[in-house]
Structure 1
């Protein structure tokens, strides 16, 4: 017992203990000195302090963060000990690999004065009186027929390529939709008709095209028009055929991605010393034996985001590119196969039934306490209630997040929930106005899963609702390029379903982690309660915007059973607009179904019915 007490980290920290017991990544210091955390960095704090570190005698002192733990208090997660052990093992086994991998996948800087290659997507203006859009480029292999006509001054968007030495433009999905064409069928326009005596037909605009909502992957050519089959030019020899049989200008596209992704990798704080020893102690006392000495990100050089405001555009770009590069480094590789201590998502979906039962108890307890009605929209409330109704519904929604290919997840990728913990949790951004660096401070929730989970967490919780709706299309495209996710329309639909599942899983984890704060009480900080309610509201709006209930085979609120004292919307007569000359008719009213003919309500449906009735009143 005496030996164990001697091993516990002392407070305040002493030089002898620091040089004897922790696992040091650097030479032992000759002197350490502990001070309270400054107020501007969230101090004073019980779990974090400044540790002045002197490496050599007479050398300068450098300030680092000293991280401790506090007594376990969660009654819902009951995994605080596992969170501490996970963060300790991350810094011991994975932090160096993550930092190296992110730096390796970050593209090199591209000269901004370099001319954009001609084979990249651009906006083209019609120079001739009329121009015919065709189903295929005119060639010798397959027939081509006109599908639309555009006139002088019109603008179209697409990617150029060569067929038989002639430049053609493959129209983007957005341009095809604007022309009233089927978005799934390609369409082409000739750029230059000098060989036929037509002169210049399309002229490229000097303005670089912005991201479009329908944009997804790299430009592709139809298989029957691969340059290797139709041309023997240098262009054909420089364009390899990909695994799908589609010929793409790989080198030029890589240069475009490098230009798009020019920035800085995700910053991982350096861990100088770590200590964790839970042998021979109870789970309730294990928190005493946790200690980390971390790199400090001072407030004058690194900004913490106010959770009530959210990230600005530059910060959002940096965060999305950073997490995308992390996912790309670990996606499709077997680097995590031997890391068995990493759970499947922060929810631990390897034990799906237990995760669903824990979430169901949490949701119903908060609903009975009246803690969620002010923050959740009716659609989100219905979605979350249906998610907790059965193991089948829960599995159908979140199981896709644990299907290969998996990558390394941060698990809680969002700004710090409040200023008092911003020194050691959440995200920090450098003070650079353009291309700021993004640093991720805490890794307690590190896990495995599909990368859409981290992206959904950040977009839903890290941005204001209005900012998310404005920047979401561009940020999703930016993430796809950073993560190296490319593919067809089916791949995009699959990713969007992953994103919806990520929103639902984020909501489950958010409710479990902030249940005590959301429930309120005399011991809860009112400011923390308001921030938690704001985050829950942002999540509920995102769930409704993305129609996440479709993963559950959802029904609308009007299809639920109502009480006898409530006005049933299904019983209201519906009117149609009368056409000219048509006599006015009123459809028969829908009769309320007898109570005996309705299916019995589950406890979750009864609770939801009562909640909806209260909201309507």
Structure 2
């Protein structure tokens, strides 16, 4: 199959294309859309396949969102689709964490379309980010984060993966800032009553921190960051042969300081109550885990990076509200939860003081 020769929607899938994609005969297939309300910026389908003994019984297919506003305002300027395909083509086998086996990964730069065909991981357990992360799952997630970060700590060069950016470099500060600027009026309108006055003032002046924060989080030593390290992107082991946790959704991966993933995960995936009870323990687990790999992250620098990231994460629900269509009740609940947890973490950590 040549570059760009793939279906642009489920209606374009054929048995011949599927057979080439999975490397096995496919005589028939059925399509079911899945993950609605979980992901915000893509479409997911489960394909049940008929063939012979070598044919997988099912695969999962990922395609771009139909939301043209999100594609134009988020995905294209940030190169998210291209980056996720590049990750599965070049890095998935190298990183020391479990990712779904990919059968097919292709991106069309002319249209910004892509297709990913994965193994079906539905035999693993999904948790619910809205409900929040359990202590046991949080420990598993931190251990996976340690493995990912320690593997590339201070050793990841621009030439290693040319498609893996530092977010301090153009066009990313402009793109991040633009997403917040577009989303903030709508977020203030929809969620303003949930925001204390200092948070509203922070949002009114958020553009001031974009470049300085991205410069600092991109300063050496950097590592391979997932960028969207949250509970909805984890699949947990249910069988002995599984890895403890499989990580999906890699379009936001980048080169940066490890506290980015740490601050994002703890502030977004735990309820405020659970975060307050476990935050120090999880940060200790992260630093001790790195130390076991011979990596030192000085505590004062870690906490500065961590608190600044907690404040930065206020951007995520605001940007999505302004740049994407919210079509399901679960998507709205997820964004409300992300916003509320972000505000609570900012207030608890004194993140705004650190920014000053």
TM-score range, shorter chain: 0.7 to 0.9
Aligned position for 2:142? 320
Aligned position for 1:203? none
Deviations 1:346-400 (A, max 9, x none): xx65446524641552354235x51232332333333333332x3xx43334421
Q: Secondary structure at the match of 2:332?
A: helix
CA contact 1:309–1:464 (8 Å) conserved in 2: yes
Aligned position for 2:31? 36
CA contact 2:263–2:309 (8 Å) conserved in 1: yes
Q: Take 1:440 and 1:6, find their aligned partners in 2: how far apart are those partners?
A: 27
Aligned position for 1:371? 190
Q: Take 2:106 and 2:136, find their aligned partners in 1: how far apart are those partners?
A: 37
Q: Take 1:480 and 1:468, find their aligned partners in 2: how far apart are those partners?
A: 17
| Cα distance change on mapping 1:375 and 1:445 into 2, 3 Å | same
| Cα distance change on mapping 1:49 and 1:32 into 2, 3 Å | farther
Aligned position for 2:346? 543
Query: Which residues in structure 2 correspond to 1:314-353 (within 5 Å)?
Result: 314-334=136-156, 336-345=158-167, 349-351=169-171
Q: Take 2:191 and 2:131, find their aligned partners in 1: how far apart are those partners?
A: 21
Q: Take 1:551 and 1:291, find their aligned partners in 2: how far apart are those partners?
A: 42
Query: Which residues in structure 2 correspond to 1:26-425 (within 5 Å)?
Result: 28-31=23-26, 33-37=28-32, 47-53=43-49, 57-59=52-54, 61-74=56-69, 78-81=73-76, 82-98=79-95, 102=96, 266-279=97-110, 283=111, 286-287=112-113, 290-298=114-122, 301-334=123-156, 336-345=158-167, 349-351=169-171, 354-355=174-175, 357-359=177-179, 361-362=181-182, 364-366=184-186, 370-388=189-207, 390=208, 393-416=209-232
Aligned position for 2:286? 479
- Output the aligned Cα RMSD: 3.3
Size of the alignment, in residue pairs? 346
Q: Take 1:454 and 1:51, find their aligned partners in 2: how far apart are those partners?
A: 32
Q: Secondary structure at the match of 2:165?
A: coil
| Cα distance change on mapping 1:31 and 1:510 into 2, 3 Å | same
Deviation at 1:50, TM superposition (A): 2.4
CA contact 1:14–1:32 (8 Å) conserved in 2: no
Deviation at 1:444, TM superposition (A): 1.3
Aligned position for 2:302? 495
Q: Take 1:65 and 1:531, find their aligned partners in 2: how far apart are those partners?
A: 23
Deviation at 1:52, TM superposition (A): 3.8
In structure 2, the gaps of 5 or more residues are: none
CA contact 2:149–2:224 (8 Å) conserved in 1: yes
Query: Which residues in structure 2 correspond to 1:458-473 (within 5 Å)?
Result: 458-473=265-280
- The reply on whether 1:532 has 2:331 as its aligned counterpart is no
Deviation at 1:274, TM superposition (A): 1.9
Structure 1 segments, 4+ long, off by >6 Å, are 3-6
TM-score, with length taken from structure 1: 0.51
Q: Take 1:293 and 1:394, find their aligned partners in 2: how far apart are those partners?
A: 35
Which of residues 427, 436, 447 in structure 1 aligns to 2:234? 427
Deviation at 1:91, TM superposition (A): 0.4
CA contact 1:327–1:409 (8 Å) conserved in 2: yes
Deviation at 1:427, TM superposition (A): 1.4
CA contact 2:221–2:257 (8 Å) conserved in 1: yes
Aligned position for 1:16? 16
Deviation at 1:5, TM superposition (A): 9.6
Deviation at 1:330, TM superposition (A): 0.7
Aligned position for 1:113? none
| Cα distance change on mapping 1:75 and 1:531 into 2, 3 Å | closer
Q: Which has the higher contact order (CA 8 A, sep 6+)?
A: 2
Q: Take 2:251 and 2:3, find their aligned partners in 1: how far apart are those partners?
A: 25
Deviation at 1:550, TM superposition (A): 1.9
In structure 1, the gaps of 5 or more residues are: 103-265, 417-425, 554-617
CA contact 2:19–2:26 (8 Å) conserved in 1: no
